[in-house]
Structure 1
Amino acid sequence: MSRRRLRPEELELWHQVAKSADPMHKGPNPMERPEPTRPSLRKTAPPPKPISDFGIGESVTPQTDTHYFPITTSQRLKAEPVQMDNKAFTRLKRGKLVPEARIDLHGMTLDRAHPALNRFMLTSQTRGMRLVLVITGKGSREDPYDPMPHRRGILKRQVPMWLRQPPLSLIVLQVAEAHIKHGGSGAYYVYLKRTR
């Protein structure tokens, strides 16, 4: 069905009827079509805004605070609170206290070193010893030509974690890096709790 155009008298009659009726919907009358406007053939773009002076990177916020640098085992041990007597701890750090027993884990694999450490620590505690020395070694030196960098000294990192886990956590009071005369960063002092 095609729509036909209303004649002027029909359109006038329609307007009189539309004025007397209440509209169902608010808004423009759908029967009244606005006159079509002819689009201009030439579109004019708004003028570009002038570019102000700037420095390269001036609006970027510095992000130097977001870098995360992992802490070493030595730093973690230094940050731990002192559980033992402060005077004894100072003497321990200066190498003035002599360990009563020692275990050397050099060259052992993790599956051999862990049970050996557990056995040594529990035996030392039952014998009433207070200070023992655990030698882990510093680890193999890094190869500067190795294409894949890797962390050295697996036992050096693992032993402090083992000492903080059961069953050893129940008998260990303090763990500290050894003085240079007892092995330095390749060994740990382990101060044991008293037997009750």
Structure 2
Amino acid sequence: MKRPLKPEERHIWGMVSSTVHPLPGRGTPTASQEAAKHETAARIAPPKPSELKARLREQLDAIEPNRRHRIAREREDIGARLDLHGMDQVRARAVLEGFLANAFHEGWRAVLVITGKGVQGDGILKRRAPEWLAAPHLAHIVAGISDAARHHGGEGALYVALKRKARS
């Protein structure tokens, strides 16, 4: 978040900007031209990976760092593993949701979902699995997700932290 300029900073900026002149053959762009340029770039450019991660974090929280560390070091058991290699999106989503429901009912607190990286590192299952895990109907099961440690599959796998079952 940008802070507003102080009066003395605004004065200094005014002195600096009065000494700047456009290159020969180029005019000074107007505010509407600048806005149109940024709008066009935003429409054409695909979202950056950092923006995608930010959107994902808005949808679903990441696992707490200490808990992720315990899972990676196997101090907290990984209850089950699911390998989605070779499945299409429809089947993979159905299998994933069934797997999570079963793991939750079994009382597991963490599971490993192996999506694979895809041919060029941008596989469809790798991209879509976090979206599926953020679905509203899984909110009572999934506590958070995180990329797996290298020895558990690295970028081609996800740790999924599960919520505790309510005591009955």
User: Same fold by TM-score, threshold 0.5 exceeded?
Assistant: yes
How many residue pairs get aligned? The number is 133
Percent of pairs identical after alignment? 36
Cα deviation for residue 83 of structure 1 reads 6.4
* Match for residue 149 of structure 2 among 151, 176, 179: 179
**What is the RMSD computed on CA atoms of the aligned residues?**
3.2
Report the residue type matching 2:96 in the other structure.
L
Per mean C-alpha deviation after superposition, the further-off stretch among 112-121 and 96-105 is 96-105
* Match for residue 72 of structure 1 among 34, 46, 49: 49
Give the TM-score normalised by the residue count of structure 1: 0.57
Report the residue type matching 2:123 in the other structure.
G
Question: 1:48 is matched with which residue?
Answer: none
Q: Unpaired runs of 5+ in structure 2?
A: 1-21
Cα deviation for residue 85 of structure 1 reads 4.8
Cα deviation for residue 168 of structure 1 reads 1.7
Question: 1:96 is matched with which residue?
Answer: 73
Rg bigger for which structure?
Answer: 1
Cα deviation for residue 99 of structure 1 reads 1.8
Taking the aligned partners of 2:124 and 2:67, their CA distance within structure 1 comes to 29
| Equivalent residues of 1:77, 1:177 under 8 A apart | no
Q: Post-superposition, which runs of at least 4 consecutive aligned residues in structure 1 deviate over 6 A?
A: none
The structure with the greater share of residues assigned to helix is 2
Cα deviation for residue 157 of structure 1 reads 1.1
Report the residue type matching 1:103 in the other structure.
L
- SS state at 1:170 partner: coil
Cα deviation for residue 96 of structure 1 reads 1.5
Cα deviation for residue 54 of structure 1 reads 6.0
Report the residue type matching 2:159 in the other structure.
Y
Cα deviation for residue 79 of structure 1 reads 7.0
Report the residue type matching 1:179 in the other structure.
A
- SS state at 2:139 partner: helix
Cα deviation for residue 80 of structure 1 reads 2.3
1:135 aligns with 2:90: no
Aligned pairs (5 A) from 1:141-180: 141=120, 152-180=122-150
Change in CA separation of 1:133 and 1:74 when aligned onto 2, cut-off 3 Å? farther
Question: 1:112 is matched with which residue?
Answer: 91
- SS state at 1:115 partner: helix
| Equivalent residues of 2:62, 2:146 under 8 A apart | no
Report the residue type matching 1:133 in the other structure.
L
Cα deviation for residue 73 of structure 1 reads 7.8
Report the residue type matching 1:154 in the other structure.
I
Q: Unpaired runs of 5+ in structure 1?
A: 1-52, 143-151
Question: 1:123 is matched with which residue?
Answer: 102
